[in-house]
C-alpha cells in the first residue's frame, strides 16, 4: 500500500518504521526534514511538504503533536488534503480535539476522501515494538480498508463506532484516566514517604497486589525512580490533552472536577519550568508540595 506518514516525533518515527518493515511503500514528512533521513536509509521516501508526500498516497497517516500541527499539515495551502487522490483515506492517529476531528471529516468528505480517527495508546517503546493499542472510528468500510495499516502498528485494533469523533473521545478520556493515575500515585507516594516508607517498596507492594495494571507499574516506577527525563510523553502534551478533554466535556455538560484539579497541577509544574519533563513529573510536584526533595 502507498502510505504518506506525516510527523516523526517520539512516536511517529517508530510507527513509520513499522510500516516500512511491513513492506508498505512509505513516504514520510516532518517539519524538521533532517529527522526523516534515517528512515530514507531504511527504505522510505521523503517528501518536502505534506502535499508532496500525499500526492500519490492511498492512505495519509498523521501523528503530530497538537491540533495546530495537524491543521497545518493537512488543511494549509501546502497540506496533504490539496493533493490527496480521490477515494484515499486520512488516518488521524494524533490526539486532537473533537472540533478539529469534525472539521477534518467534513473537509475530506467534500473532496471525495475518507476519514478515520485512530488514536493510539502506548509509549514510544510500544510504538517501536508495534504493540500499540488503537481505537478506530469511522465509516465501516473505510475502517476495514485501513486494517492492514493499523495492524502493522498495533497489537489490537478496537473499533469504537461509525463517527470519527468517538475514537477521539475515547482517547481523550483514556488520557484523562492515565493522568488521574499519575496524580493519585504522586500524592500516595508523597504521603508514604513522609512516614518513612521507601517509594520502591511501596510501588512494589501496590503493583503486586490490587494495582498490577501496566499503567501503575510504568508510572509508579518512574515516580519512585524520579526519572522524568527523557520524556516518553511530555508534560506540555499532557496539559494539552487535559484541556481538550475539559473542552469536550463542557460541550456536552459533563462535569470533570478531577480533570480540573489535574490541569491546575500541570499548570503549576509548567510554571516551575517542568513542561519538557515526562508528565509523571507530577510526582516531583507532589513531593515538593509535601516538603520532600
In this structure, how many other beta carbons lie within 10 angstroms of the beta carbon of residue 253?
A: 6
Q: Hey, what's the cell of 151?
A: 495492524
Q: Scan for cell 485494533, then name that residue.
A: 157
CA distance 77 to 237: 26
CA distance 238 to 175: 8
In this structure, how many other beta carbons lie within 10 angstroms of the beta carbon of residue 264?
A: 11
Residue 23, phi-psi category: left (phi > 0), alpha (psi -120 to 50), beta (remainder): left
CA distance 260 to 289: 18
From 111, 135, 133, select the one nearest 122 (Cα to Cα): 133
Residue 39: half-sphere exposure toward Cβ, Cα within 13 Å: 30
Q: Which of 2, 35, 131, 171 is catalytic?
A: 171
CA distance 31 to 50: 9
From 56, 58, 53, 43, select the one nearest 7 (Cα to Cα): 53
Identify whether 171 is a catalytic site residue. yes
Residue pair 42/100 in contact by the 8 Å Cβ criterion: no
- Tell me phi and psi for residue 232, to 5 degrees: -75, -35
Catalytic residue annotation: 171
Amino acid at each position: 500500500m502507498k502510505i504518506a506518514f506525516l510527523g516523526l516525533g517520539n512516536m511517529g518515527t517508530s510507527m513509520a518504521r513499522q510500516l516500512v518493515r511491513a513492506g508498505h511503500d512509505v513516504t514520510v514528512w516532518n517539519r524538521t526534514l533532517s529527522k526523516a533521513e534515517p528512515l530514507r536509509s531504511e527504505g522510505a521516501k521523503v517528501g518536502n511538504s505534506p502535499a508532496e508526500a500525499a500526492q500519490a498516497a492511498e492512505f495519509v497517516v498523521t501523528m503530530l503533536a497538537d491540533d495546530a500541527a495537524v491543521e497545518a499539515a493537512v488543511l494549509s495551502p501546502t497540506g496533504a488534503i490539496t493533493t490527496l487522490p480521490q477515494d484515499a483515506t486520512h488516518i488521524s492517529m494524533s490526539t486532537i480535539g473533537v472540533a478539529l476531528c469534525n472539521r477534518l471529516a467534513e473537509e475530506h468528505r467534500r473532496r471525495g476522501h475518507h476519514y478515520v480517527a485512530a488514536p493510539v495508546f502506548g509509549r514510544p517503546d510500544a510504538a517501536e515494538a508495534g504493540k500499540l493499542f488503537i481505537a478506530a472510528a469511522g465509516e465501516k468500510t473505510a475502517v476495514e480498508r485501513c486494517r492492514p495499516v493499523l495492524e502493522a502498528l498495533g497489537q489490537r485494533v478496537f473499533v469504537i463506532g461509525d463517527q470519527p469523533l468517538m475514537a477521539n473521545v475515547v482517547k481523550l478520556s483514556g488520557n484523562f484516566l492515565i493522568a488521574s493515575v499519575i496524580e493519585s500515585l504522586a500524592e500516595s507516594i508523597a504521603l508514604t514517604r513522609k512516614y518513612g516508607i521507601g517509594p520502591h517498596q511501596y510501588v512494589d507492594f501496590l503493583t503486586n497486589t490490587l494495582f498490577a495494571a501496566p499503567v501503575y507499574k510504568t508510572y509508579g516506577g518512574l515516580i519512585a525512580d524520579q526519572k522524568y527525563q527523557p520524556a516518553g510523553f511530555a508534560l506540555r502534551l499532557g496539559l494539552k490533552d487535559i484541556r481538550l478533554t475539559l473542552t469536550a466535556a463542557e460541550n456536552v455538560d459533563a462535569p470533570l472536577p478531577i480533570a480540573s484539579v489535574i490541569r491546575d497541577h500541570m499548570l503549576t509544574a509548567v510554571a516551575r519550568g517542568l513542561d519538557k519533563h515526562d508528565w509523571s513529573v507530577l510526582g516531583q510536584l507532589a513531593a515538593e508540595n509535601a516538603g520532600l526533595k
